[in-house]
């Protein structure tokens, strides 16, 4: 009871101390700002790329910030097609704000404010990327012109020029990779882990049909492939190289601009394999006995294609939403790959690569051939694994089963039991990291 008067006094003073302090920040800092530039933070999420934060420079230092004092207007444009009004203009929702440095790191006192924006799979306006399908001008995912106008409501201070763009994880990659084999030109992104006493494995990821082109950042962000460079996944491997090749069209291109599902040869597998071998040769720190390959949809097709052609080269495969038709794989091919560790990922409601035509018969035929290290995580639906948008009740398009791959959310086999390794249940990455030729 001795402290009671002090507590009463402190409680009465706190509102008096806090409110004017925040008001002083507005009047003393924002009224004399001379800067109009901002920095975007673009992150890869399960559904694709989104602008998650905006960093505003100040002339003075602050201790705190209030997101309610700002508004963010966005304008999006592209030469691919005319955008609908709801796709082109609008306001972005601010969740909160904090004092930061120039890279959005939270600090006790800083000369920047970071606005944290609301992002969601059903929010179109906060994405600097769009999917254009089979648009004759632009095919698949493409960056769009993305401009913001941030206003401080009390002083009408405006930031309307993008100065910089931070893309976590993607910024760790080299995006300048180029490789030519005969008349085929491929681009690629790659990540090299820190130096270590032992050689490091290599993870290869092959994108889907919507990520072709000549800009590897699209292959990294449009389906969150950059996550293989995250600390969470790198820890499983003690550090791993990551190679993300990109095709100028799509992996299943039969050479005439049409899709093959295995009935005829595609035009890229030979050049892609040469790229992989060249990359391994140029990076002697790679452990040649621990090269892992995975991909989604088109990339799932190509993953299996390369394993079929080079069954002794890869230590393991992890294809998702595989687009290879089972009827085009012979029994001799099944026998040739039965000893290759493969973990398939697919969703039962995939309308693009239907399970009865692709992954289930391939998996069953491998098991009938006595494949001891073949697994299939078959999900009922592709759901919100973050529990931010409804959890199991929120369903993505059934084709997007690679969401589970990138987030390392595969633990169960086709029969619903855990995948066991050395007597213990393992996740996809935990399993893969232990595979070796």
Can you tell me whether residue 287 is helix, strand or coil? strand
Is pLDDT at 31 greater than 90 in this prediction?
Answer: no
Return d(Cα 211, Cα 162) in angstroms, integer: 25
Spatial CB neighbours of 437, under 8 Å, sequence gap ≥ 6: 288, 289, 290, 312, 315
Confidence tier at 13 by pLDDT (50, 70, 90) = very low
Is pLDDT at 16 greater than 90 in this prediction?
Answer: no
Is pLDDT at 175 greater than 90 in this prediction?
Answer: yes
- Per DSSP bridges, beta strands 286-296 and 200-206 are parallel
Return d(Cα 301, Cα 319) in angstroms, integer: 8
Confidence tier at 161 by pLDDT (50, 70, 90) = very high
58-104 confidence digits (pLDDT tens): 989 999 999 999 999 999 999 999 999 999 999 999 999 999 999 99
33-43 confidence digits (pLDDT tens): 667 999 999 99
Confidence tier at 352 by pLDDT (50, 70, 90) = very high
122-147 confidence digits (pLDDT tens): 999 999 999 998 777 888 999 999 99
177-197 confidence digits (pLDDT tens): 999 999 999 999 999 999 999
> 255 forms bridges with which residues in the sheet?
none
Lowest mean pLDDT segment, chosen from 3-12, 239-248, 369-378, 390-399:
3-12
Is pLDDT at 20 greater than 80 in this prediction?
Answer: no
H or E segment to which residue 218 belongs: helix 216-221
Q: Which parts of 68-144 are beta strand (E)?
A: 70-77, 89-92, 94-100, 110-117, 129-131, 141-143
| Of 354, 367, 366, residue with least CA distance to 325 | 354
| Of 169, 49, 66, residue with least CA distance to 120 | 49
Is pLDDT at 3 greater than 60 in this prediction?
Answer: no
Return d(Cα 250, Cα 209) in angstroms, integer: 5
pLDDT in the model for residue 19: 33
In this prediction, residues 285-296 reach a mean pLDDT of 98
Domain boundaries, the chain: 32-166, 170-432
pLDDT in the model for residue 28: 59
pLDDT in the model for residue 17: 32
pLDDT in the model for residue 134: 72
- Please name the residue ranges forming H helices in 223-330: 231-237, 269-282, 298-309
In this prediction, residues 163-173 reach a mean pLDDT of 97
Q: Is 170-432 a domain of CATH 3.40.50.880?
A: no
Q: Please, what is the Cα angle at 188 between 205 and 121, to 5 degrees? A: 55
pLDDT in the model for residue 139: 87
> 53 forms bridges with which residues in the sheet?
41, 116
Exposure b/e, 380-401, CB count within 10 A at least 16 = b = ebbbbeeeeeeeeebebebbbb
Is pLDDT at 11 greater than 50 in this prediction?
Answer: no
Confidence tier at 12 by pLDDT (50, 70, 90) = very low
Confidence tier at 152 by pLDDT (50, 70, 90) = very high
Tokens of 43: 């992150």
In this prediction, residues 143-155 reach a mean pLDDT of 96
Confidence tier at 24 by pLDDT (50, 70, 90) = very low
| Of 277, 353, 280, 281, residue with least CA distance to 310 | 277
Tokens of 373: 């290290």
333-349 confidence digits (pLDDT tens): 999 999 999 999 999 99
Lowest mean pLDDT segment, chosen from 16-25, 41-50, 72-81, 149-158:
16-25
In this prediction, residues 266-277 reach a mean pLDDT of 98
Site of tokens 């398939």: 344
pLDDT in the model for residue 35: 74
Rounded (10°) CA dihedral 209, 215, 220, 221:
-90
Third-level CATH fold of 32-166: Immunoglobulin-like (2.60.40)
Return d(Cα 158, Cα 33) in angstroms, integer: 9
HSE-up (13 A, CA, CB side) for residue 299: 30
Higher pLDDT, 134 or 388: 388
């Amino acid at each position: 009871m001795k402290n009671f008067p002090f507590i009463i006094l402190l409680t009465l003073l706190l509102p008096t101390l806090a409110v004017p302090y925040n008001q002083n920040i507005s009047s003393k800092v924002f009224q004399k700002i001379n800067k109009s530039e901002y920095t975007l933070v673009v992150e890869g999420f399960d559904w694709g790329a989104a602008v998650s934060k905006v960093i505003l420079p100040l002339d003075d230092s602050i201790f705190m910030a209030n997101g309610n004092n700002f508004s963010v207007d966005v304008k999006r444009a592209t030469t691919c097609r005319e955008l609908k009004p709801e796709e082109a203009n609008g306001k972005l929702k601010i969740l909160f704000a904090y004092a930061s440095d120039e890279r959005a790191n939270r600090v006790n006192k800083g000369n920047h404010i970071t606005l944290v924006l609301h992002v969601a799979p059903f929010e179109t306006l906060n994405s600097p990327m769009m999917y254009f399908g089979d648009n004759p001008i632009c095919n698949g995912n493409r960056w769009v012109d993305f401009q913001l106008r941030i206003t401080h409501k009390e002083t009408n201070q405006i930031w309307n020029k993008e100065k910089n763009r931070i893309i976590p994880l993607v910024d760790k990659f080299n995006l300048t990779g180029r490789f030519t084999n005969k008349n085929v030109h491929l681009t690629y992104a790659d990540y090299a882990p820190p130096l270590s006493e032992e050689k490091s494995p290599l993870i290869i990821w092959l994108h889907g049909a919507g990520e072709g082109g000549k800009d590897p950042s699209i292959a990294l962000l449009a389906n969150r492939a950059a996550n293989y460079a995250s600390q969470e996944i790198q820890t499983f491997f003690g550090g791993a190289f990551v190679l993300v090749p990109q095709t100028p069209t799509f992996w299943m291109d039969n050479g005439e601009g049409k899709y093959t599902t295995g009935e005829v040869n595609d035009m890229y597998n030979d050049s892609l394999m040469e790229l992989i071998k060249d990359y391994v040769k140029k990076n002697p720190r790679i452990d040649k006995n621990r090269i892992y390959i995975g991909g989604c949809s088109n990339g799932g097709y190509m993953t299996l294609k390369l394993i079929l052609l080079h069954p002794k080269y890869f230590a393991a495969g992890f294809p998702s939403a595989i687009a290879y038709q089972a009827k085009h794989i012979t029994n001799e091919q099944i026998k040739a790959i039965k000893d290759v560790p493969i973990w398939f990922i697919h969703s039962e409601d995939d309308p693009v690569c239907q399970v009865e035509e692709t992954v289930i018969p391939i998996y069953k035929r491998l098991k009938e051939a006595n494949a001891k290290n073949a697994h299939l995580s078959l999900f009922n639906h592709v759901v919100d694994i973050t529990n931010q948008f409804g959890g199991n009740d929120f369903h993505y398009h059934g084709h997007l089963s690679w969401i589970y791959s990138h987030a390392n959310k595969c633990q169960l086999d086709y029969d619903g039991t855990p995948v066991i390794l050395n007597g213990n249940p393992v996740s996809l990455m935990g399993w893969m990291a232990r595979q070796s030729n």
